[in-house]
């Protein structure tokens, strides 16, 4: 075991089921992983209320997947919950071309024996996927985006501007977990929290909600490790002063960035 993190307390805010590997490698590098999930991923039953100008939601998509030219998964969670909604069966998903928004999503699809026909060559967001040649000329094509409730609209909006017919299949939702905040508050009050890891804008907003304004102000001077410029911009708006952006969203990249922060690199 290395001591690259020098006993630093690293706040890991990922959902429980996605945090274990990151916590493990933090501890292997001599850090203390403080598990504090600020998001809980739960199955979405039924359709959410929407206004008339909201993007359309696919109705019973499992019965009509063959009509779609592209089936786009926006996250590993989207893959997992779509499979659960289909009883774990994958045959129906093989009826159309599948796209993944990033490497983690593609890996989850491949683990389920689903072939990924398109993945961004660089990047891991909607903009990267939209830059792919296959999505430049989609006029008249039917495209289904599999995602969580209330995700970003950039992907669908741009595809529609290119003439595609885009529907959503929302298979999960993100909620704020009901957990005890005592450990994190104690660490803050004792100035023992050294690094905070945030992997989405929603996670950062939930952290503020769960701890309250006063404690977020105390966190503002603690180094924040984030995985995108978009999260970095939001953190700066919220008053965080020491923000480091990883080169990619992988656990290893997060770890390397945290080590660099701790060692003043």
Confidence of residue 152 (pLDDT cuts 50, 70, 90): confident
Task: Give the pLDDT score at 117.
Answer: 96
* 4 domain residue, yes or no: no
Q: Say yes or no: 248 and 193 in one domain.
A: yes
- Condensed to tens digits (0 to 9), the pLDDT of residues 45-91 reads 643 333 334 444 555 677 788 889 999 999 999 999 999 888 877 88
What span, in angstroms and rounded, lies between the C-alpha atoms of 97 and 31?
A: 42
Q: Are residues 160 and 207 in the same domain?
A: no
Q: What is the mean pLDDT of residues 93-98?
A: 87
3 belongs to a structural domain: no
Considering the domain architecture, whether residues 217 and 254 belong to the same structural domain is answered as: yes
Kindly report the CATH number assigned to the domain that includes residue 130.
Answer: 3.40.50.10090
> In the listed set 125, 141, 175, which residue is the last one of a domain according to the structure?
175
Domain count, the chain: 2
Interaxial angle between packed helices 16-28 and 251-262, expressed in degrees from 0 to 180 and rounded to the nearest 10: 50
Instruction: Name the domain boundary from 141, 175, 209.
Output: 175
55 occurs within a structural domain: yes
Q: Among 175, 191, 223, where does a domain finish?
A: 175
- First-to-final CA distance of the chain: 21
Question: Domain check: are 84 and 113 in the same one?
Answer: yes
| Helix extents (H) in the chain | 16-28, 76-85, 103-111, 126-130, 154-161, 182-189, 201-211, 213-219, 229-237, 251-262
Q: What's the domain range around 16?
A: 9-39+178-262
Laid out side by side, the sheet with 97-100 consists of: 40-43, 165-175, 142-148, 70-73, 97-100
CA 7 and chain centroid, separation = 27
Give, in degrees to the nearest 5, the angle at Cα 95 between 94 and 96.
95
pLDDT at 59 (0 to 100) = 54
Q: Are 98 and 109 in contact (CB under 8 A)?
A: yes
pTM recorded for the entire structure: 0.83
Q: Tell me the mean pLDDT in the region 86-102.
A: 85
Whether residue 92 sits in one domain with residue 139 = yes
Residue 169 contacts residue 58 (beta carbons within 8 Å): yes
Q: What is the DSSP letter of 226?
A: E
pLDDT at res. 114:
93
Predicted confidence (pLDDT) per residue in 192-228, tens digit: 999 999 999 999 999 999 999 889 989 999 999 999 9
């Amino acid at each position: 075991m290395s001591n690259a993190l020098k006993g630093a307390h690293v706040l890991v805010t990922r959902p429980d089921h996605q945090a274990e590997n990151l916590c493990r490698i933090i501890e292997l590098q001599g850090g203390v992983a403080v598990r504090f999930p600020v998001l809980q991923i739960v199955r979405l039953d039924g359709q959410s209320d929407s206004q008339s100008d909201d993007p359309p939601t696919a109705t019973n998509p499992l019965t009509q997947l063959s009509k779609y030219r592209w089936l786009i998964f926006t996250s590993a969670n989207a893959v997992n919950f779509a499979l659960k909604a289909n009883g774990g069966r994958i045959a129906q998903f093989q009826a159309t071309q599948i796209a993944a928004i990033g490497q983690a999503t593609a890996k989850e699809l491949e683990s389920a024996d689903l072939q990924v026909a398109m993945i961004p060559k660089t990047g891991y967001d909607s903009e990267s996927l939209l830059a792919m040649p296959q999505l430049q000329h989609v006029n008249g094509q039917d495209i289904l985006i599999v995602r969580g409730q209330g995700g970003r609209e950039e992907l669908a909006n741009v595809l529609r501007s290119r003439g595609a017919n885009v529907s959503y299949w929302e298979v999960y939702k993100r909620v704020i977990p009901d957990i005890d905040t005592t450990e994190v508050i104690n660490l803050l009050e004792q100035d023992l929290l050294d690094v905070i890891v945030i992997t989405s804008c929603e996670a950062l907003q939930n952290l503020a909600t769960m701890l309250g304004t006063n404690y977020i102000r105390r966190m503002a001077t603690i180094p924040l490790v984030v995985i995108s410029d978009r999260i970095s911009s939001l953190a700066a708006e919220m008053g965080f002063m020491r923000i480091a952006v990883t080169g990619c969203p992988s656990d290893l990249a997060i770890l390397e960035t945290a080590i660099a922060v701790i060692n003043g690199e």
